Amino acid sequence: MADSTPPSQETLSNLLHETRSFPPPADLAANANVKADAYDKAAGDRLGFWEEQAHRLQWDQPWDTVLDWQPPFAKWFVNGRLNASVNCVDRHVANGLGDRVAYYWEGEPGDTRTITYAELKDLVSQAANALTELGVTRGDRVAIYMPMIPETIVAMLACARVGAVHMVVFGGFSVDALGQRLDDSQAKLVITADGGYRRGKASALKPAVDAAVADRPAVEKVLVVRRTGQDVEWTDRDVWWHDLVDSQSTEHTPESHDAENPLYIMYTSGTTAKPKGILHTTGGYLTQASYTHWAVFDLKPETDVYWCAADIGWVTGHSYIVYGPLSNAATTVLYEGTPDTPHRGRFWEIIEKYKVTIAYMAPTAIRTFMKWGDDIPAGFDLSSLRVIGSVGEPINPEAYVWYRKHIGGDRTPVVDTWWQTETGAIMVSPLPGVTSGKPGAAMRALPGIVADVVDENGDSVPDGEGGFIVIREPWPSMLRGIWGDPERYRDTYWSRFEGLYFPGDGAKKDEDGDLWLLGRVDDVMLVSGHNISTTEVESALVSHPSVAEAAVVGATDKVTGQAIVGFVILRSGAEEVSEETVKALRDHVGASLGPIAKPARLLAVPELPKTRSGKIMRRLLRDIAENREVGDTSTLTDSSIMDVIAKQLPSAKQDD
């Protein structure tokens, strides 16, 4: 690929230009929880705005200062006291909402449970009493390694109730991953289950815990929920949940905790490096989780049925299955299993069955559904939906439009929500009653959040240009640090730009000043002096009818600095990209983004390496494209996929 474009000075190229836009439905706009005036109001008095949002919660003692900011360390609602579990459960019961359904739980095999707020209060109280009996008190860390069952949420809330710090580890993580997190957090209790159901089978969990705790004496007890009934090994350290918890009193008097009491540690998925224990505290976190869940999804708790398909082992599950919805007294669907069990319409069947009105899922799932075909969702009644959301990765315009049309009936707004484990809650997103959404854009920082896009020097870029997304002011649900490592906290997030929080993502402002997230800065490709985002090239590839999914990386190239190598899953299922298709795809990308963005090579793959939360791990593909030994694959959904890709791709070797 000959290229004579001169090197440019821009931080990140703005290549994709999107003209489609979808205004909010009139009735939604008229009745929206948040209207357009919220932005200016919050900008005029940011701390006053967050103070007003904190009044969504029930405080045992009011704060005396909204924000104490000793950069980069923040305290919100200083000296305020509250109990997160009381805010999520007890107060709703006290307000007469005890009969409202908190969770419709759907097990993968089709077993179900309906749990009201009154029942949830009893369950959480019993579990809190059990924790106390096990000697768990304020500040202790409790690891939770569970399937997606109600007890997982009960365990989290029971920890919050007694002031212990929960640390949920995704139930599919390996012994090593669990062990590493146990070491780092020094948890004294592990709560687990015999197993859970995934892909139609009982999949064991306890053996991994047994192996992980075998040489970790810091773990005193293992509390085990019986979910599948499969055989388990047993030692004196183990306690059955049904023996210990079910016999406890349903009365438990909650203590109040400081607003800055640690609520949980969540290890980031580790797409980039050694997992970091992100620490969240109570008052500010709950305030922003609650506000954003209500604002971004336009939640009407009396009538909505809300469903977030993420796993609880991911921050999205914490903020938008547990703390956000419960603090708003919402009715939430909780589903244990995978989207293709027992059939590929399972998600749509759940929406039809529970008349879900708000659904929230990841672009990786949406692209998979696109691949499976339009006729699958068409077989279900999805007319109850009124807002649908996306989180986890940039949503390609093509996937957005498909989601809106085939799931949202061309009627529902799509909210593309940008945030990360570290931010604790949504930061940039459309508001469904205000924003005319553009496919692929996260649009604007929410009221009370000050985001910007800057160049290498930290200067704000003009509209129409790309750079790094930064957050200019502290926000209530911001991480309070990395567990046990304040230096890493400073280095990772606060050292790149003086006084600015740096999330590590690229972004651009379009001609209207709306924000588009462009993927991780580490993944940006430098081609002939242009910094090209992976997102734009991948979006161009998936907008071609022959491509179901795509990942691109920059591989070292003698001529251009880096050359773009594209890994594509072809809709036809073909194992090689034919010469015509290579040409068609290169031309298509060239026509969408300009010749600079044309991939130098295109390789067909059966699957892409993804983390548990569905994110493409481009660094592993870069290893392959540059013919290196593949790096750490421990957080992959399926680590064998790298062997499959490497074996299938002798042509990936750089031999020229």
In the list 254, 317, 447, 503, the residue contacting ligand ATP (rule: CB under 6 A) is 503
Residue 395 structure tokens: 């949503």
Asked if 492 is part of the footprint of ligand ATP (rule: CB under 6 A), the reply reads no
Asked if 315 is part of the footprint of ligand ATP (rule: CB under 6 A), the reply reads yes
Residue 394 structure tokens: 């940039």
The residues facing 334 across adjacent strands are 105
Asked if 393 is part of the footprint of ligand ATP (rule: CB under 6 A), the reply reads yes
In the list 256, 420, 633, 637, the residue contacting ligand ATP (rule: CB under 6 A) is 420
Q: Give me the least distance between CB of 148 and ligand ATP, in Å please.
A: 17
User: What are the CA-CA distances from residue 612 to residues 173, 367, 374, 392 (Å)?
Assistant: 8, 16, 25, 11
Residue 530 structure tokens: 């242009």
The residues facing 307 across adjacent strands are 333, 359
CA–CA separation, 258 and 442 (whole Å): 34
User: 595 burial class (0-12, 13-18, 19+ CB within 10 angstroms)?
Assistant: middle
CA–CA separation, 240 and 248 (whole Å): 13
Nearest Cα neighbor of 161 from 121, 204, 215 is 121
Task: Report which secondary-structure segment, H or E, holds 364.
Answer: helix 363-372
Contact segment (CB under 6 A) with ligand ATP among 96-104, 239-247, 417-425, 545-553 equals 417-425
Contact segment (CB under 6 A) with ligand ATP among 141-149, 346-354, 412-420, 599-607 equals 412-420
Q: Angle 558-564-569 (CA atoms, 0-180°, nearest 5)?
A: 145
Contact segment (CB under 6 A) with ligand ATP among 81-89, 252-260, 472-480, 497-505 equals 497-505
- Closer residue to ligand ATP in complex, CB, 148/517: 517
Asked if 180 is part of the footprint of ligand ATP (rule: CB under 6 A), the reply reads no
- Closer residue to ligand ATP in complex, CB, 337/424: 424
Asked if 517 is part of the footprint of ligand ATP (rule: CB under 6 A), the reply reads yes
In the list 421, 435, 528, 546, the residue contacting ligand ATP (rule: CB under 6 A) is 421
DSSP 386-398: -EEEEESSPPPHH
- Closer residue to ligand ATP in complex, CB, 142/482: 482
DSSP 191-217: EEESEEEETTEEEE-HHHHHHHHHT-T
Task: Report which secondary-structure segment, H or E, holds 451.
Answer: strand 451-454
The residues facing 561 across adjacent strands are 527, 557
- Closer residue to ligand ATP in complex, CB, 364/613: 613
Q: Give me the least distance between CB of 390 and ligand ATP, in Å please.
A: 6
The residues facing 556 across adjacent strands are 562
Residue 57 structure tokens: 């919660």
- Closer residue to ligand ATP in complex, CB, 328/613: 613
- Closer residue to ligand ATP in complex, CB, 51/538: 538
Q: What are phi and psi of 452, to 5 degrees?
A: -150, 170
Asked if 505 is part of the footprint of ligand ATP (rule: CB under 6 A), the reply reads yes
In the list 116, 126, 248, 269, the residue contacting ligand ATP (rule: CB under 6 A) is 269
- Closer residue to ligand ATP in complex, CB, 195/609: 609
Q: Give me the least distance between CB of 629 and ligand ATP, in Å please.
A: 20
Residue window 574-613: x/- pattern of binding to ligand ATP, with contact defined by CB under 6 A: -------------------------------------x-x
Asked if 394 is part of the footprint of ligand ATP (rule: CB under 6 A), the reply reads yes
Asked if 510 is part of the footprint of ligand ATP (rule: CB under 6 A), the reply reads no
The amino acid that residue 589 corresponds to is: V
Q: Give me the least distance between CB of 190 and ligand ATP, in Å please.
A: 22
Task: Report which secondary-structure segment, H or E, holds 182.
Answer: helix 175-185
- Closer residue to ligand ATP in complex, CB, 219/642: 642
CA–CA separation, 26 and 633 (whole Å): 47
Asked if 281 is part of the footprint of ligand ATP (rule: CB under 6 A), the reply reads no
Asked if 270 is part of the footprint of ligand ATP (rule: CB under 6 A), the reply reads yes
In the list 83, 85, 185, 271, the residue contacting ligand ATP (rule: CB under 6 A) is 271
Q: Give me the least distance between CB of 389 and ligand ATP, in Å please.
A: 9
- Closer residue to ligand ATP in complex, CB, 151/184: 184
Distance from chain centroid for Cα 222: 28
User: What are the CA-CA distances from residue 286 to residues 237, 268, 279, 282, 501 (Å)?
Assistant: 34, 19, 13, 6, 21
- Closer residue to ligand ATP in complex, CB, 188/520: 520
In the list 391, 524, 596, 641, the residue contacting ligand ATP (rule: CB under 6 A) is 391
Q: Give me the least distance between CB of 378 and ligand ATP, in Å please.
A: 26
DSSP 456-491: TTSPBPPTT-EEEEEE-S--TT---EETT-HHHHII
* Contacts of residue 137, Cβ cutoff 8 Å, sequence gap at least 6: 162, 163, 164
Asked if 418 is part of the footprint of ligand ATP (rule: CB under 6 A), the reply reads yes
Asked if 319 is part of the footprint of ligand ATP (rule: CB under 6 A), the reply reads no
Q: Give me the least distance between CB of 292 and ligand ATP, in Å please.
A: 13
Contact segment (CB under 6 A) with ligand ATP among 326-334, 350-358, 498-506, 636-644 equals 498-506
- Is residue 513 helix, strand or coil? coil
Q: Give me the least distance between CB of 591 and ligand ATP, in Å please.
A: 24
CA dihedral sign, ordered 359, 364, 370, 371:
negative
- Is residue 124 helix, strand or coil? helix
Q: Give me the least distance between CB of 598 and ligand ATP, in Å please.
A: 24
Residue window 425-454: x/- pattern of binding to ligand ATP, with contact defined by CB under 6 A: -----------------x------------
Q: Which residue has the tokens 């075909």?
A: 373
Contact segment (CB under 6 A) with ligand ATP among 251-259, 264-272, 471-479, 555-563 equals 264-272
In the list 544, 615, 618, 619, the residue contacting ligand ATP (rule: CB under 6 A) is 615
Q: What are phi and psi of 555, to 5 degrees?
A: -110, 140
- The number of residues that bind ligand ATP (CB under 6 A) is 25
Residue 120 structure tokens: 């949830």
Q: Which residue has the tokens 């699958």?
A: 376
Asked if 633 is part of the footprint of ligand ATP (rule: CB under 6 A), the reply reads no
Nearest-10 Cα torsion for 282, 288, 291, 294: -90
- Closer residue to ligand ATP in complex, CB, 79/633: 633
Instruction: Residue count of the chain, please give it.
Output: 656
Residue 423 structure tokens: 């931010």
Residue 264 structure tokens: 């949980």
Asked if 520 is part of the footprint of ligand ATP (rule: CB under 6 A), the reply reads yes
The binding site for ligand ATP (CB under 6 A) comprises 268-272, 275, 315, 391-394, 416-418, 420-421, 442, 503-505, 517, 520, 611, 613, 615
